[in-house]
Amino acid sequence: MNIGSRIFRIIVVTHTSEHIKTFNFLVLVHFVSKKEFHNLFFCYFLISIYNLQIGEIFKFKEKKKDIYISRKSKRQDDQMERKYTNVSHHNHVLLRPDSYVGSVKPRTEERWLCKKMSSSFELVSCKSRPACQKLFDEILLNACDNSRIPNNPTKKIRIVLTKESIQVENDGQCIPIKKQDGMYIPEMVFFKLLTSEHYDDKKERISAGLNGYGSKLTAIFSTKVSVDCFDPGRKLFFHQEYRKNMKETDGPIVKKKKSNKYTVRYTYTPDTQYFPKWNNKTSMALYRRRVADVAACFPKVKFYLNEEEVKTSFKKYIGKYTTNKSTTFEFPNWTIGLALSSTEAFQQISFVNGIRTSKGGTHIDAMLNQITSHIQTILRKRHKKSTTKLSKKNIMQRLFLFINCTVRNPHFGSQTKEEMTTEVDTPTLSLKAVEKAIKTSGILTELEVWLESKELNSLNKKMRGTQKKTIKGIPKLNDAQKAGTSESKKCHLILTEGDSAASTAIAGLTVVGRKYYGVMPLKGKMLNVRGKSASVLSKNKEIQDLIKILGLQLGRTYTDTSSLRYGKIMVMADQDVDGFHISGLLLNFIEHFWPSLTRLGYIQRFITPLIKIGNREFFSITAYETWREQNPSNHQKVKYYKGLGTSTNKEAKQYFTNLRKYVKEVYFDEFASENLQLVFDGNFASQRKIWMNKEVQMIDYSVPRFTVKDIIMPELLEYSKSTLYRAIPKLVDNLKQAQRKILFAAFKKVRTKEMKVAQLAAYTADVSEYTHGETSLCQAIIKMAQDYPGSNALPLLQPNGQFGSILQNGGDAASPRYIFTQLQPYTENIFHPDDLSLLTTLIEEGTPVEPQFYVPILPMLLVNGASGIATGWRTNILPCNLKEIISNLRRLLRKEPIKHMKPFVKGYKGTISEEYLSSGLFELKGNHVDITQLPLGVSVLQYKTFLHGCSFVTKFDELHPNEREVHFRVTLSEVLANPYKQLKLERQLGKSLVTLDLNGNIQSFNSPDEILIEFFKIRMDYYHRRKTYLLSAYERQIKELEWEAIFIQRVITNPRQPNLEGIPQNHLDKFRKMSISRLETQNINKCKETIDQMKVTRATLEQTTAENLYERDLNVLYEKLFSSKKRKR
């Protein structure tokens, strides 16, 4: 309707009947005189009553007081002047606003509101008119576009929001105040539709404007709008005001002015006919949020809202949307943010050249595809055995993606610019960067929890326990008679460590009976279920059997145990570190899947004594040692119980007679879950390392119940520390616990005579009190003797037989029953006998065993390298060149700087970088490639398997010259773009220079040079100790020889009653055992000669420095290793 032009357009709908009460057709009425004006109100009345919709055009007449609307006949319709109306562009904008600025009708939807600039945004369901926000956006982005202009860009933008108007001004490049085509340029720019500087598509454009609408749309939907421009070059000031939807103006005002604070100011008042609530609280909150948007997108511009500076960055801006941790990636023209979705649905906030693309577009799709592909790869890598996969759609639901990008010549789906349609080249995010981001933000955890939930649902279908009386297919189960009945709640299932422990428990059942007690032996250590996929769990028979036996259902929350086959679990494991671990794994299993059961006292521990002295029982070594210190005079027999199998049937019955003493309930407090996660969850590796630095405290086993914090965690700490000694070598001797025991036994038994590996393993277990089985000792002995390329540079034992080769990386060694070994000729030159007396001997089960550590003259850690994995730690150290090591030791002896050492593997012809990237050797010859070295650690058998499955390999031949060298000739079916990668001739070995110090604590290094220097300090200290000890030993021997000469002389002088006064008692006891043949004068002379020789040797030693001793030992060893005569293999 336009009253000013006296033309009125009324839409009416009528039925086919001409009766006035049955309107159903469109009537377009033109009022051409003022006296017909009253008809307008009648038409509005009809519209409101009949809810009229679009129909046909009717003739509209007035006769006296009645109004008639008649439908034209077909002939009349044909004769009608025109059915169509041609409107001006300006009026079209008003009639069809959706095509230009979006809907002017209120719409209820969720919008991000900024109630205060200093506060976070809130996602609120509210009513708003999208067009109202678009008008503000057009003016704001006009100001922001100037910030990209090279000459005089915008530095400051000021926004003023009041109840009367909205004002935006900037200090950027001015608009020339001069006439063009008969009007001033500012008037063209701001008030003439389709005026734009962006019609040249050949010219690159990164501004928001494109079609020449922008600020003109804001003016059309405003009751009043004014523009002020300043042209500093011409010293002119321009002002023009439009009213009534850009219909009325008094024309521009141009005047002279020397300076001005701003170059452009745009002030407007939205038309309340279209936007009746443009200045309410919701609208103002949306304006504020939009100001925050552009402040984050244009960091070089200072923004002021109502005179208050808006300080932000894109990182801080992301923080206004979510409290979850986020990661940002910076690229030229792109800033990408990633956080965990707060709604469990995909969320995105994106900007293209400052335009808020609320519906996303190609930039979001491309980046999302890249990120979700990386996440799928990461999940596959972390859950290799999982059969459950997450689709990109699943992953999207956990993402909150933020993008601020600058795109040249962008195109959008409509004038509202909510969705970009231009295909763009997005920056490439690395897999490593995405992995770090999703770990930091918690996205990975959420996805893995979702994946685990999905797997559990699948797993529960396969492994669902029920409360039934009979369990079939588990022959080792000794089921309680009442299990699976109405009395199941009273039943206890005793889970034992192995079959021998089960025998002990079954012997005890003669006391308590089988009615309410069942026994089930566990096969070794149970699977750590945390982080394991459903497919892994479903293939684990032990877990399946346990679920069946107990009647458990995955995912179920239990309030009591009446629905289970057993009301309690009783864990009966050895009272040693491995028993602690088995108990912990069972607790971990129940707590992980059924935390509700842990609060019902479902788990109990059956403890048995570790040491007995008479009737006194000790449940830990610490308790025994404390008692021994307090009772040194007690000489009763000490019995060590290596396992439950040590207990007799009589003792087993005693345990079950007094269950209150031996059975302890495991209490789970509110921190129990966190404590078990710390030990068993792979995501807590860094925290676990800190925990392992704690000292193991003495455990009081007399308490009535065990708490996870006070009993279980100390036990698991003791176990975790024991894994360090088993898997991580000490820096000083490069020996793990088992290897040190083997060397100790070898010094005793196989110095010069060979022995079967199996026999040496048995002997080692006997003399060193090794409790982990002879099989593991056999494997350790074989590895200590191996000398194929990639194994040992200086094996300490001789490989007399087939000890393995590069074919299977030592896995092809013969049975320990058929191969022999003994000490290498140079082993005692490395582990010098003069040092043995300086070492601290360990005591196990009352028996002296191997020393705490050996002190070789070479840093064997750098000679042979080391690898191993323990709780919380891993080590992987490659060897260095032996000659370089010895040369550097000599430099240190001379107090000279050492030369940097690089990884060097004896017999390996490939290359190894300092970051442990191993590369093989190959030579391309047409469509053939000769491979003469595989990456370190890759066996011939493994590589053959790879070649068999390789699509581009036609055939291959094995031309290996001997058992220590490799030669594959491969025929290719295509040209290889990256041979190293495609032929898998590169392998990252994983550098980890971690060892144990002398006290068994973790020690980390950055380079082999640091290891060498640290070893040298220890070794020099022991050379000083050796010298002191030898001087003292010579002194003792000289004194003893002197007293021996005196004793012999006195016995010869008076055989019947020799004068023995003055001779020390310890020497006298020894001399009295002397044979008669030695009581001769010539032996006196021998003693004196030996004394003289020793005094000379002692004097020489006194003049010899520790450095001289070390140099001498190195020279002897070097001569033995590198003499012209090759050493025997």
**What is the Cβ-side half-sphere exposure of residue 68, based on CA atoms within 13 angstroms?**
7
Q: What is the chain's Cα-based Rg?
A: 45
pLDDT at 196: 67
pLDDT tier at 537, thresholds 50, 70, 90? confident
Mean pLDDT for 943-951 is 92
pLDDT at 211: 59
Query: From residue 687, how far is each of 204, 386, 1040, 1065 by CA, in Å?
Result: 53, 26, 58, 59
Query: From residue 1101, how far is each of 833, 895, 1026, 1029, 1031 by CA, in Å?
Result: 17, 22, 11, 11, 7
Label residue 899 exposed, middle or buried (CB < 10 Å: 0-12, 13-18, 19+).
Answer: exposed
Residue whose structure tokens are 């520790």 = 1106
Q: What is the mean pLDDT of the chain?
A: 86
pLDDT at 698: 82
Mean pLDDT for 161-171 is 92
The H-or-E segment that residue 128 falls in is strand 122-128
Q: Give the angle subtended at the CA of 850 by the CAs of 846 and 851, to the nearest 5°.
A: 105
pLDDT tier at 635, thresholds 50, 70, 90? confident
Q: Whole-angstrom Cα distance, residue 232 to residue 212?
A: 25
Mean pLDDT for 295-322 is 92
Q: Give the angle subtended at the CA of 80 by the CAs of 78 and 84, to the nearest 5°.
A: 100
What are the residue ranges of helices labelled H in 1054-1080? 1065-1071
pLDDT tier at 147, thresholds 50, 70, 90? confident
Most confident range (mean pLDDT) of 66-75, 222-231, 449-458 is 222-231
- Greater model confidence, 479 or 540: 479
Mean pLDDT for 177-205 is 78
By three-state DSSP, how is residue 797 classified?
Answer: strand
Question: Does the pLDDT at position 29 exceed 50?
Answer: no
Non-local CB neighbours of 520 within 8 Å, separated by 6+ positions: 474, 476, 477, 478, 493, 494, 495, 496, 502, 545, 546, 549
Backbone angles phi, psi at 156, to 5 degrees: -145, 135
Third-level CATH fold of 463-608+642-722: Rossmann fold (3.40.50)
Considering the candidates 44, 68, 818, 980, report the single residue annotated as catalytic.
818
pLDDT tens column, 716-753 = 999 999 999 999 999 999 999 999 999 999 999 988 89
Question: Does the pLDDT at position 533 exceed 90?
Answer: no
pLDDT tier at 18, thresholds 50, 70, 90? very low
Most confident range (mean pLDDT) of 135-144, 371-380, 453-462, 856-865 is 856-865
Q: Give the angle subtended at the CA of 348 by the CAs of 123 and 443, to the nearest 5°.
A: 95
Beta-bridge mates of residue 518? 493
The tokens describing 134, both together, are 């678009």
pLDDT at 210: 57
Q: Give the angle subtended at the CA of 846 by the CAs of 694 and 783, to the nearest 5°.
A: 70
C-alpha of 810 from chain center: 33
Contact 774, 763 (CB under 8 A): no
Share of the chain above pLDDT 70, in %: 89
pLDDT tier at 21, thresholds 50, 70, 90? very low
Question: Does the pLDDT at position 468 exceed 60?
Answer: yes
Contact 246, 219 (CB under 8 A): yes
Q: Which of 278, 327, 292 is nearest to 114 (CA)?
A: 292
First to last CA, the chain: 107
Q: Please give the DSSP secondary-structure letter assigned to residue 880.
A: B
Beta-bridge mates of residue 160? 167
Q: Whole-angstrom Cα distance, residue 853 to residue 1018?
A: 12
Which is it for the CA torsion 401, 402, 405, 410, positive or negative?
Answer: positive
**Strands across the sheet with 928-933, in order?**
921-925, 928-933, 968-972, 953-958
Q: Whole-angstrom Cα distance, residue 976 to residue 982?
A: 7
Non-local CB neighbours of 946 within 8 Å, separated by 6+ positions: 984
Mean pLDDT for 532-556 is 83
Non-local CB neighbours of 237 within 8 Å, separated by 6+ positions: 177, 228, 229, 230, 231, 254, 255, 256, 257, 260
pLDDT tier at 1065, thresholds 50, 70, 90? confident
Contact 827, 739 (CB under 8 A): no
pLDDT at 202: 61
Question: Does the pLDDT at position 31 exceed 50?
Answer: no
- Greater model confidence, 837 or 632: 837
Query: From residue 235, how far is each of 152, 263, 592 by CA, in Å?
Result: 16, 11, 77
Q: How many CB atoms lie within 10 A of CB 638?
A: 15
Single pTM value for the model: 0.65
pLDDT at 208: 57
Residue type, 1030: L
Question: Does the pLDDT at position 897 exceed 50?
Answer: yes
Backbone angles phi, psi at 784, to 5 degrees: -70, -20
pLDDT tens column, 579-596 = 999 999 999 999 998 999
Q: Please give the DSSP secondary-structure letter assigned to residue 473.
A: S
Buried b (16+ CB within 10 A) or exposed e, 1026-1047: bbeebeeebeeebebbebbbbb
pLDDT tens column, 490-505 = 999 999 998 888 999 9
pLDDT at 361: 93
pLDDT tens column, 687-721 = 998 898 888 888 888 888 888 988 889 999 999 99
The tokens describing 582, both together, are 């088995």
pLDDT at 200: 58
192-196, 334-338, 563-567, 911-915, range with the lowest pLDDT: 192-196
Q: What is the CATH number of domain 917-988?
A: 3.30.1360.40
Q: Give the angle subtended at the CA of 445 by the CAs of 442 and 449, to the nearest 5°.
A: 140
pLDDT tier at 386, thresholds 50, 70, 90? confident
What are the residue ranges of helices labelled H in 514-638? 534-538, 541-550, 577-593, 595-598, 621-630
- Greater model confidence, 1023 or 622: 1023
Q: Do domains 326-454 and 917-988 have the same CATH topology?
A: no
Mean pLDDT for 350-368 is 92
Q: Whole-angstrom Cα distance, residue 1095 to residue 204?
A: 97
The tokens describing 251, both together, are 């024309």
Contact 858, 786 (CB under 8 A): no
Backbone angles phi, psi at 126, to 5 degrees: -150, 165
Question: Does the pLDDT at position 223 exceed 80?
Answer: yes
Third-level CATH fold of 326-454: Ribosomal Protein S5; domain 2 (3.30.230)
Third-level CATH fold of 1009-1121: Topoisomerase; domain 3 (1.10.268)
Residue type, 143: A
Contact 214, 142 (CB under 8 A): yes
Question: Does the pLDDT at position 10 exceed 60?
Answer: no
Q: What is the DSSP pairing of strand 517-522 with strand 492-497?
A: parallel
Beta-bridge mates of residue 335? 330, 404
Residue type, 444: L
- Greater model confidence, 3 or 813: 813
Three-class secondary structure assignment of 725-777: HHHCCECCCCCCHHHHHHHHHHHHHCCCCCEEHHHHHHHHHHHHCCCCCHHHH
pLDDT at 1066: 85
By three-state DSSP, how is residue 866 classified?
Answer: strand
Share of the chain above pLDDT 90, in %: 54
Question: Does the pLDDT at position 80 exceed 80?
Answer: no
Buried b (16+ CB within 10 A) or exposed e, 466-496: ebeeebeeeeebbbbebbbeeebbbbbbbbb
Q: Domain limits of the chain?
A: 20-86, 107-312, 326-454, 463-608+642-722, 727-853, 917-988, 1009-1121
Contact 711, 703 (CB under 8 A): yes
Contact 354, 141 (CB under 8 A): yes
Third-level CATH fold of 727-853: Topoisomerase II; domain 5 (3.90.199)
Non-local CB neighbours of 623 within 8 Å, separated by 6+ positions: 698, 701
Question: Does the pLDDT at position 321 exceed 60?
Answer: yes
pLDDT tens column, 1030-1041 = 999 999 999 999
pLDDT tens column, 41-78 = 555 444 444 444 433 334 444 443 344 444 444 444 55
pLDDT tier at 205, thresholds 50, 70, 90? low
Percent of the chain that is helix, strand, coil (3-state, to 5): 40, 20, 40
Q: Whole-angstrom Cα distance, residue 531 to residue 529?
A: 6
Mean pLDDT for 151-158 is 85
pLDDT tens column, 1001-1014 = 999 999 999 999 99
Q: Whole-angstrom Cα distance, residue 668 to residue 811?
A: 44
Contact 466, 551 (CB under 8 A): yes
Non-local CB neighbours of 322 within 8 Å, separated by 6+ positions: 339, 340, 342, 400
By three-state DSSP, how is residue 493 classified?
Answer: strand
- Alpha-carbon dihedral angle through residues 815, 816, 817, 820, given to the nearest 10 degrees: 120
Q: Is 818 a catalytic residue?
A: yes
pLDDT tier at 463, thresholds 50, 70, 90? low
Phi and psi based region of residue 592 (left: phi greater than 0; alpha: psi -120 to 50; beta: remaining):
alpha
Mean pLDDT for 885-910 is 95
- Greater model confidence, 191 or 24: 191
CATH superfamily of 107-312: Histidine kinase-like ATPase, C-terminal domain (3.30.565.10)
Backbone angles phi, psi at 603, to 5 degrees: -110, 135
Question: Does the pLDDT at position 83 exceed 70?
Answer: no
Question: Does the pLDDT at position 932 exceed 90?
Answer: yes
Phi and psi based region of residue 214 (left: phi greater than 0; alpha: psi -120 to 50; beta: remaining):
left
